[in-house]
Structure 1
Amino acid sequence: MADSAKRILARVIDWLIVAIPLLFIGIPFGIYNRVTSGDGFGDWVADGNTGGWVFQVIAIVAFVGYDTLMVRKSGRTLGKKLMKMRVAMLNDGSTPDTGSSLTRAVVLWLPQLICCPCLWPLLLLVFILVDKPYKQGLHDKAAKTVVVSTAG
């Protein structure tokens, strides 16, 4: 099984790969207006801000799409590749199919992007740290996957 610290670093790398372009994409949608208004993101979206809804959908598609496509293609996101890890099916070690990759990405990113940006990653981390013997987060359990170390 992959080292937990390397998994965390890989996730940070993957988050940055998606988040940095989203920072620039968000400018035309006015996502930074909420910083000066003092409203939370949920309030800003709930107030009927169409740009907020559109940007939130773009962010969901970006994070879920990135993770799904990369894991489906090779079992690795760029972060996992750099940390010499890959996602594998628990039952046979194969690369996850589209359904498993999508399930894993949705459980990984959707709660974080919609309602629980601080609590959800912490909850996933706790599951990875306490799960024995496979170190599965909720996203791994939902998709029946594990993260393993690779040689290269």
Structure 2
Amino acid sequence: MSSPYNAQPSGYPTPPYPGQIPYPPVGGTPYGAYPPPAVGYLPPEAWPAAQHDPRNSPVLANPGQRLGGHALDVLFVFLGAVLVGIVFLLIGRATGRPGSAPESGVLLVCHLVVMLAVVVLYDPVQTVLWGRTLGKRCAGTRAVPLTRPTERLGFGQALSRWLLHLVMTFVPFLGLLNGLWLLWDRPYCQCLHDKVAQTAVIRQQG
């Protein structure tokens, strides 16, 4: 005969028999609370301007996406510079005396100015117009302001971020360090040029 003194308190599940899967914790997830976010999501407090639902918080781009997007952007910039060179070469031949007429010096200066504009403005112009570059579009990422991840970068912030990236690329060892920094940076996985420009790279939703 069972005694009330050794009975299980009400509200507690009976112990599982041998081989049975244990019961989940009493109470489970409180009503109205969201489960912990998946890997790659940041807590809502990390994104002050984001919605308070963790499921809708921005997701950081992984290193593979960032590397792939940047490699494609470098390729597109190179192709753009080659195209500009071909256009000015054809213009020089059309003038009749490339390399000897005074016009060739002006043409060379124009060539260099246009090529520099392609390299410098490639990223900022696309970021302002469409929110991301061709490379980022292919990789499924976008660069956003660190404190306003639901908004686009302004032209000044996008230009400073791109120029910092370009300058660091041509400084010995700094370019490599800049690219590797995101592997250990927390919580935003930023490169050095992201830290200076106060930006982050997230996955493009949808």
TM-score (norm 2): 0.54
Aligned to 2:81: 22
Count of matched residue pairs? 131
Among 156, 162, 165, the residue aligned to 1:105: 162
List structure 1 runs of 4+ shifted beyond 3 angstroms: 24-30, 51-60, 117-121
Q: Percent identity?
A: 29
Instruction: Please say if residues 63 and 109 of structure 1, whose CA atoms lie closer than 8 Å, have aligned partners that are also in contact.
Output: no
* Displacement of 1:58: 4.6
Among 101, 124, 142, the residue aligned to 1:68: 124
Secondary structure of the residue that 1:87 maps to in structure 2? strand
Question: Counterparts of 2:174 and 2:88 in 1: how far apart (Å)?
Answer: 25
Among 127, 133, 146, the residue aligned to 1:77: 133
Q: Which has the higher helix share?
A: 1
- Bigger CA radius of gyration: 2
- Greater Cα shift, 74-83 or 53-62: 53-62
Deviations along 1:15-67, one digit per CA (max 9) or x if unpaired, are 1111023135447999xxxxxxxxxxxxxxxxxxxx99876655443222011
Secondary structure of the residue that 1:76 maps to in structure 2? coil
Among 55, 63, 88, the residue aligned to 1:4: 63
Question: Counterparts of 2:172 and 2:117 in 1: how far apart (Å)?
Answer: 20
Structure 2's unaligned 5+ residue stretches are: 1-59, 90-106
Question: Counterparts of 1:88 and 1:134 in 2: how far apart (Å)?
Answer: 12
Secondary structure of the residue that 2:188 maps to in structure 1? coil
Kindly provide the amino acid, as one letter, of the partner of residue 177 in structure 2: L
Question: Counterparts of 2:196 and 2:165 in 1: how far apart (Å)?
Answer: 10
TM-score (norm 1): 0.71
> Structure 1 residues 71, 24: closer, same or farther in 2, change over 3 A?
closer
RMSD: 2.8
Instruction: Please say if residues 182 and 190 of structure 2, whose CA atoms lie closer than 8 Å, have aligned partners that are also in contact.
Output: yes
Instruction: Please say if residues 168 and 175 of structure 2, whose CA atoms lie closer than 8 Å, have aligned partners that are also in contact.
Output: no
